[in-house]
């Protein structure tokens, strides 16, 4: 268990999805390039493990604010990602986290919302 299990306010159906994961980082401007290289190295690992539509964004009003976003097909797929982190994956994650300033990055899990779905239950913050 490299990552903590996502916190929810109630049960989430395993087939619910897609799941959007947002991770907010604070990075010193002088570390921008090295951080982006490390994050892009982590991205291919996320894509290999079933994520899609991965992207990193930087805030136009805050030069130290970055947001990593990726989608996973279902809640079950996301939970599986938590359970299959290799030592190499953990080291890649640690390289990214070494650039983050302050407390742990903020992580949000958001579920696609459609009529007939159970109410969203995963807008909680989790540390990766």
Q: Per-residue pLDDT tens for 24-56?
A: 999 999 999 999 999 999 999 999 888 989 999
With a cut of 50, say whether residue 121 has pLDDT above it.
Answer: no
Write phi, then psi, for 29 (nearest 5 degrees): -50, -35
For residue 16, is pLDDT > 70? yes
Worst-scoring range by mean pLDDT, 57-61, 79-83, 107-111, 121-125? 121-125
Percent residues over pLDDT 90 in the chain? 59
**Nearest-angstrom CA–CA distance, 86 and 94:** 12
pLDDT at 3: 61
b/e string for 28-65 if b means 16 or more Cβ within 10 A? eeeeeeebbebbeebbebbeebbbeebebeeeeeeebe
């Amino acid at each position: 268990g490299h990552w903590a299990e996502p916190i929810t306010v109630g049960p989430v159906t395993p087939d619910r999805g897609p799941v959007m994961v947002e991770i907010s980082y604070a990075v010193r401007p002088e570390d921008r390039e090295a951080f982006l290289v490390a994050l892009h190295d982590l991205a291919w690992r996320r894509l290999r493990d079933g994520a899609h539509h991965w992207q990193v964004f930087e805030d136009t009003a805050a030069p130290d604010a970055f947001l990593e976003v990726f989608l996973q097909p279902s809640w079950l797929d996301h939970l599986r990602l938590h359970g299959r982190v290799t030592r190499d994956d953990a080291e890649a994650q640690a390289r990214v986290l070494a650039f983050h300033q302050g407390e742990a990055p903020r992580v949000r899990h958001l579920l696609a919302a459609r009529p007939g779905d159970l109410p969203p239950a995963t807008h909680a913050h989790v540390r990766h």
